[in-house]
Chain A
Amino acid sequence: MRKFVLSMLVVLLLVSSACAEVTSLTLALRAGTYSEVIKRCLPAFEAEHGVKAEVLELAEDDLHSKLALDAANSEGAYDLCMVDGSWMAEFSSNGVLADLGALGVELDDDIIPAATKISYYGGKLYLVPYYGNVTVLLYNKALVNGKPLNSLDDLLSVCRAAKESGKKGFIYRGDTENNLVVDFMPVLLSFGAWVLDGNNKPSVNTPEFREAVKFYLELIATGDAEAKDDLIATIDSGAGTMGVGWPGWYLPSESSNADYCAITGRVSNDGTAHNANVYGVWTIGIPANSTHKALAAELLKYLINPAVQKSTVEFGGVPCRYSSLTDPEVLAKFPQYKVVCAALEGGVYRPVIEEWTEFYTILGTELGNIFNGVKTVDKGLEDAQTALEQLMN
């Protein structure tokens, strides 16, 4: 009996030590399609490298604060993380991310160049564009009914017609400051305006900005403010006509009620076309305090492998790679990727400034006041400009 117990103990010890040898990587990812496509790729990597990958799926704000909180520790809890392009300045200037070049990660020519604009800081590579989220115009096919959507004027006329027929016209996200700002940005860009000037000073109280806001007020008067899920449901069900969306939200097919197209960046049909598609690209980086940097770099290289990225298209993945977005097989099944590719080529990143979170909170608050009639356009933009100048000084 004693021998049996002893041998069992030895077996248990061996098993537990064998288990302890399995390295575990922790991935902090943005919840939704973004993390789903990565999760589908993981089993093959785990089997090949004998590792276990644990995925933490987080909402955008949670992901941001968790990464920042963890950065204060000498040994980090995360080995690989998704990073929104707008956090780049804040993260890289405070040493949150590891230099990917030193870990053997490189960007190849197949990745859409415009999407890599925020990947480097001080000549070092910190982030790899992974999920090609870029604003598109999500619309209900039946309500648009083949009418042209070549300019903002076209959008307004379609939305007004929808409203006259008892439907909602333009739907925008009115739930958070960030969403208020981002949904407005394509219109702002179409008017040739931006939130910062060439010297990185706030420029929200300019004539172009005011014109953009006034136009947007006309546009949103045809519809409603809704949360993301309601926006998609409203457009898909035909209760609403259109709104600014992201490829990760909706997978259109021939039989689907909705589809999306690129925003042309023209105010009128004979006007100048601006780059008006705003990036919401989810990039991948490795925290500087990761305890498994080399293995995390292997995983990153595997995830951005062209063939692996192409395989994610089937499940809603939107690679920032020409090889996926222009592949005839992919386009035959998902023709909308042609639109996404064009939008990504001319996409615009939100300002890469350390103060971006506070910046959009201030601007979103004032835009919310204007959209809800609490302040006039002039007063709202004047207050926003004053507060933003104080912030940036």
Chain B
Amino acid sequence: MMKADKRFAVFMVLPALAVMLIMTVYPMASTIYYSFTDFRLLRRNISFTGLKNYASLLSNEYFLASVWNTVKFSLLAVTFEVVLGFLTALYVNSLKSLRLQKVLRTVILLPYLLPTVTAALSWRMMLSPNYGIVNQFLAPMGLPVHNWFRDIHTAFAMLVVIDVWQNMPFVFLMVYAALQSIPQEQYKAARIDGAGTIAQVWYITLPNLRTALMLCTLLRTIDTFRIFDKVNLLTGGGPAGSTTTITQYIYNSGIKSLKFGMGSACAIIMTGLVLVLSALYVRDIMNQRSI
């Protein structure tokens, strides 16, 4: 009977395993293999080049700059998204009127529902130096019309702002859901003990939300590390490489020039970085669960 159960379990897992092998393991293995070759799409011959691609990337100032831009972008965007998402959730959750809570929930979620391309194009129009609504507001106030995406001092910040605007609602949603599950008795007891609002947030809300916040941070870090469409559509990595992230670098130096060997090496380095960062969060989440 036990054997039959085991066979059934294996049988049930097989389809998922097959999909995993085809969709994840095979592409991953191919990418690792190609990263050690000089594979160019149109050329028939592929030669094994060992660590040449990796060595060339790690000594390339523009690749290293793209890694730094990605890390900087991730840190800034995730920090703002988590902090703002948390504060917004706290505020909405504290509202007495349930109807107002529902309305705000819907309004706050709207940017998250938009496809990234639509959001990016809308921002491009809004920030256009010609017909953009942002500059239309600035001009009557006597402020200069600014070219937000072509100025080396503002382009990166604009990308962070847009990403925060679009993805803060995700954090809001997760935290808001977690807030609902905090037992109200804890707050009642704290109030009886004379705890103020800040103390309640610090000693009750935050410890209860720790798993949710860690999960949000993990998911957002992975997502921001892979950012491509916004960068490609809005700045193309410019001006002067100030917004080139790893994915944009892969696109410019690997995909566009059909150098898939080099592109694969970039992708493997990026995956390694994401894994290292994720491992820290995952370990923390696992530790918490085992407590």
Contact = CB atoms under 8 A, between A and B. Distances in A.
Given A174-B238, A365-B241, A234 B129 contact: yes
B41 A72 contact: yes
Interface residues of B, number: 27
A365 B42 contact: no
B150 A174 contact: yes
B62 A365 contact: yes
B208 interface: no
Contacts of A373: 152
Interface stretch (B20-28, B199-207, B214-222, B250-258): B250-258
Interface residues of A, number: 36
Nearest to A358: B257
Interface stretch (A60-68, A156-164, A191-199): A60-68
B147 interface: yes
Given A94-B42, A94-B43, A225 B258 contact: no
The main secondary structure of chain A at its interface with chain B is helix
A239 interface: yes
B240 A175 contact: no
B235 interface: yes
Contact of B252 (A233, A355, A361): A361
User: How would you classify the secondary structure of chain B's contact residues: helix, strand, loop or mixed?
Assistant: loop
A169 to B, nearest CB: 14
A237 B150 CA distance: 19
Interface string B36-57: 0000011100000000000000
B291 to A, nearest CB: 49
A253 interface: no
23 contacts: A65-B255, A68-B41, A68-B258, A72-B41, A90-B42, A91-B42, A174-B238, A175-B236, A175-B238, A176-B236, A225-B147, A227-B149, A230-B128, A230-B130, A234-B129, A239-B129, A239-B130, A371-B239, A371-B240, A372-B239, A372-B240, A374-B240, A374-B241
Interface of B: 41-43, 62, 124, 128-131, 147, 149-150, 152, 235-236, 238-242, 252-253, 255-259
Closest 8 A/B residue pairs (Cβ): A372-B240, A94-B42, A233-B130, A357-B257, A225-B150, A374-B240, A358-B257, A176-B236
Interface of A: 61, 64-65, 68-69, 71-72, 90-91, 94, 96, 174-177, 224-227, 229-230, 233-234, 237, 239, 355, 357-358, 361, 365, 368-369, 371-374
